[in-house]
């Protein structure tokens, strides 16, 4: 068994879930595989209420965290994993087949990180904006003729695979503590760089949305160490300060 | 991709399923992972009809086989796997954790066998009688505080694991043809031995049920080669013939 501290390193995040039965199914799979931390982003209130009050709903559903945005839900996470099929679009993030996810997650736990796994809505999956908060995309290998999985079943399969890893970790003893850059730090850095870009008139206003997205994806691709992150932050603060001085003269 | 002949080696068998949504969920997971052969034993007719006529139901549901008994559903199978949690009873069959199922199934496919995987009803799982047709019990490693999985989710996790194996097999080329003793042969052998036991007044009539069960389990534990099976069959036919002669004198 994993210690509760180790189990605490995983957050399951449902983004805009619709069907109360599916929310309940995800919660049940979490209970089956020993995960306890559930966050729900932008839930449709009546369905969310229905799911929580269902007979036999696992306790973790009552303790679930409600978040207004993906950014907030993953703020403390150092490795954010998106799920979904990538048949019809080319993703900005590296795609990892679920059966080969173990090394990535083990390395993250070993350096004391926190892992979030995101599931999109039943109808549309994760949006491009949701995915911009992800370091990698986890793909469940499915038949190309029927790639789209039910939310509760996709969650069960992912958590089953993560639970295997759990056993290995437990056998190896508790993870050593370390440090990593969490999503909130990355967001602060992205905001500062964006502000700098604007102050420097880097590109027309119409490009602002696209630049923000690309910047978010880029920062996650870099796998910054905390020291590097702080250095870059310091540098841009300095630049921004200079730019502000210059424009006020 | 597996050839359709290789995919044809797997049968998913639902024993007394109740909830139409769960039947649909199992069928969807099968379609997701490329399995096509579904059998349903003793389905509750209205719910079965509802599941089959559901909007968006995979085609394999329309082609599903309806069987009156487990014996008939697994008649052509040479390796029958039961699923469920074994927390509260000691099973007669060897228990294989799902993550370690691959070698058993690969060996069976390599010798040209056919594999059936059985799922019990939502409420009670597989009965002791259902399990007596199984060579092994597959266990999904779950949290002891919440071991019982939803039917659709349990099927998704099992089929995901089998689909991994599928990839390995596909990479290794088609399985060589061979021969194995199927469940129908084992049943014929068991019936003959039982008849012999009765003819020989082996034990009181009150023991007949128990003996039948133990015999079924025993025969599966032996992993008989076809030649051995035929030899034992021949031997008991001979014995039975002699016993009949003797009693008619």
A82 alpha-carbon distance from chain centroid:
6
Distance to chain A for B58, nearest Cα, Å: 9
Q: B34 vs A143: CB contact, 8 Å cut-off?
A: yes
Does residue B188 share a domain with residue B162? no
Chain B residues within an 8 Å CB radius of A148: 32
Which distant-in-sequence residues (6+ apart) come within 8 Å of B38 by Cβ?
A: B11, B12, B13, B14, B26, B27, B30, B60, B61, B63, B64, B65
* pLDDT tens profile B123-162: 889 998 999 999 999 999 998 888 889 999 999 999 999 9
For testing the chain A interface, which of B2, B26, B57, B156 should be mutated: the one with the most A CBs within 10 Å? B156
Pick from B146, B150, B157: which is nearest to A157 by CB? B157
B127 is a domain residue: yes
B178 is a domain residue: no
Is residue A176 very low, low, confident or very high in pLDDT (cuts 50, 70, 90)? very low
* pLDDT tens profile A201-212: 888 888 888 888
- What is residue A205's predicted lDDT score, i.e. its pLDDT? 82
- Residue tagged 């119409």 (tokens): A206
Does residue B221 share a domain with residue B108? no
Is residue B17 very low, low, confident or very high in pLDDT (cuts 50, 70, 90)? very high
Pick from B98, B143, B163: which is nearest to A141 by CB? B163
- What is residue A175's predicted lDDT score, i.e. its pLDDT? 45
Q: Which of A144, A172, A200 represents a domain boundary (last residue)?
A: A172
- What is residue A240's predicted lDDT score, i.e. its pLDDT? 85
Distance to chain A for B34, nearest Cα, Å: 5
- State whether residue B81 is helix, strand or coil: strand
**Plot region of A125 (φ>0 → left; ψ -120 to 50 → alpha; else → beta):** left
- State whether residue B82 is helix, strand or coil: strand
Chain A residues within an 8 Å CB radius of B21: 21
* pLDDT tens profile B198-219: 888 888 888 888 888 888 888 8
* pLDDT tens profile A59-82: 899 999 999 999 999 999 999 999
φ, ψ at B102 (rounded to 5°) = -50, -55
Does residue B161 share a domain with residue B52? yes
Does residue A20 share a domain with residue A115? yes
Task: Give the number of domains in chain A.
Answer: 2
Q: Judge whether residue A227 has pLDDT over 60.
A: yes
Angle CA(B97)–CA(B100)–CA(B106) in degrees, nearest 5?
125
3-state SS string over A142-155? CCCCCCCCCHHHHH
* pLDDT tens profile A116-153: 999 999 888 999 899 999 999 999 999 888 888 999 99
Does residue A210 share a domain with residue A190? yes
Is residue B90 very low, low, confident or very high in pLDDT (cuts 50, 70, 90)? confident
Both tokens assigned to B21: 């949504």
Which distant-in-sequence residues (6+ apart) come within 8 Å of B5 by Cβ?
A: B174
Q: How many CB pairs lie under 8 A apart between chains A and B?
A: 86
Q: What is the mean pLDDT of residues A216-235?
A: 84
Q: Which of A172, A191, A215 represents a domain boundary (last residue)?
A: A172
Q: Which of A172, A204, A233 represents a domain boundary (last residue)?
A: A172
Task: Give the CATH number, domain containing residue B105.
Answer: 3.40.1280.10
Hey, is the C-beta of B31 within 8 angstroms of any chain A C-beta? yes
Domain of B187, in residue numbers? 183-248
Is residue A88 very low, low, confident or very high in pLDDT (cuts 50, 70, 90)? low
φ, ψ at A53 (rounded to 5°) = -95, 5
Give ipTM to 2 decimals.
0.80
Taking the model in full, what pTM does it have? 0.83
Does residue B226 share a domain with residue B163? no
């Amino acid at each position: 068994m994993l210690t509760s501290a180790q189990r605490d390193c995983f957050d399951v995040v449902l983004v805009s879930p619709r069907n109360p039965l599916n929310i309940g199914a995800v919660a049940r799979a979490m209970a089956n595989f020993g995960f306890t931390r559930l966050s729900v982003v932008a839930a449709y209130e009546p369905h969310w209420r229905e799911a929580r009050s269902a007979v036999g709903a696992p306790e973790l559903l009552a303790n679930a965290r409600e978040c207004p945005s993906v950014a907030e839900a993953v703020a403390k996470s150092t490795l954010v994993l998106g799920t979904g099929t990538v048949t019809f679009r080319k993703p900005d993030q590296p795609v990892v087949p679920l059966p080969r996810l173990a090394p990535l997650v083990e390395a993250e736990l070993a350096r004391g990180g926190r892992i979030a796994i995101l599931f999109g809505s039943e109808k549309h999956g994760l949006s491009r904006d949701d995915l911009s908060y992800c370091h990698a995309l986890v793909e469940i290998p499915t038949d190309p003729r029927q790639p789209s999985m039910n939310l509760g079943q996709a969650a069960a399969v992912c958590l089953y695979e993560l639970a295997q890893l759990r056993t290995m970790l437990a056998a190896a003893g508790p993870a050593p503590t370390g440090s990593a850059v969490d999503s909130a730090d990355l967001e602060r850095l992205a905001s500062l760089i964006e502000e700098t870009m604007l102050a420097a008139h880097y590109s027309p206003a119409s490009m602002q949305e696209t630049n923000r997205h690309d910047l978010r994806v880029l920062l996650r691709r870099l796998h910054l160490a905390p020291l590097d992150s702080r250095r870059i932050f310091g540098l841009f603060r300095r630049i921004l300060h200079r730019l502000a001085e210059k424009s006020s003269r």
